[in-house]
Structure 1
Amino acid sequence: MAFGVTKQELAAWKHSVRSGKVAFLTHFWYDRRFPQYNTVTKAACSDRSRLIEWGLSYGLRETWIHEERYYPHFDLIGADEFRILQEEGELEKLLKLRSRAGNDHERMI
């Protein structure tokens, strides 16, 4: 479940992904394996080869792709999440969520 995302943001992300664009959806998240992180960004693209190429440009492995029927994606967390969103010009949503959670920049990475 994606907390901190509006229905409109989710719909826009799905539309972009299904259109073959690499799109980002950042939301609150909890996973016992990674208790130090409270956000995740799904970087998705319906064009799997484009997603693979995009991921390789950031050092992401093809085997890390989550295979969902219409929304194959990488889960970005921690330092990779911050770095990639910054380079993609998509950092604003992460900063807003972190601000709402009361986290400072140092804890983001």
Structure 2
Amino acid sequence: MAFGITKKELKEWKSKVSKGEIAFLTHYWFDPRFPNIKTVTKVGCDDLERLSNWCEQYGLNPKYIHHRSEFAHFDLIGSKQKEILQQEGLQHHLKRFKLI
């Protein structure tokens, strides 16, 4: 379940993803499988080759790309989430969701 984002932010992310852009959406999240994880960043792109290449660039396995919704995405959590957001220059995600 997602918390802490607006409908406008979600709409903008979906629009970018649909255009084949690499798009980032960080939000608060609760999943009992990961009790210590409070946020997730969805890295989406409808161009699956581009998204796969992006995953490989960061040493992530593209087989974990989610295809079960109309918006293909890779979920970043934990230390890898923080590391990649920093490398992508997304300081506002890190600050807003208290990851730094």
Query: Are residues 1:19 and 2:12 paired?
Result: no
More helix by percentage: 1
Look up the match of 1:65. Answer: 65
Structure 1 residues 19-28 or 89-98, which shifts more?
89-98
Cα pair 1:18 1:70 within 8 Å, conserved: no
Q: Deviations over 1:35-89 (max 9, x none)?
A: 1110000001000000000000001101111113431111000111001111111
Look up the match of 1:31. Answer: 31
Measured in 1, the distance between the counterparts of 2:94 and 2:23 equals 14
TM-score normalised by structure 1 residue count: 0.85
More strand by percentage: 2
Tell me the matched-pair count: 100
Cα pair 1:3 1:27 within 8 Å, conserved: yes
Counterpart AA for 2:16: S
Measured in 2, the distance between the counterparts of 1:50 and 1:94 equals 24
Counterpart AA for 1:50: R
When the two chains are superposed, the root-mean-square deviation of aligned CA atoms in Å is 1.3
Look up the match of 1:97. Answer: 97
Give the fraction of aligned pairs with identical amino acids, expressed as a percent. Answer: 48
Structure 1 residues 72-81 or 88-97, which shifts more?
88-97
Look up the match of 1:3. Answer: 3
Counterpart AA for 2:52: I
Map residues 75-86 of structure 1 onto 2, 5 A cutoff. Answer: 75-86=75-86
Map residues 43-54 of structure 1 onto 2, 5 A cutoff. Answer: 43-54=43-54
SS of residue matched to 1:50: helix
Long gaps (5+) in structure 1: 99-103
TM-score normalised by structure 2 residue count: 0.92
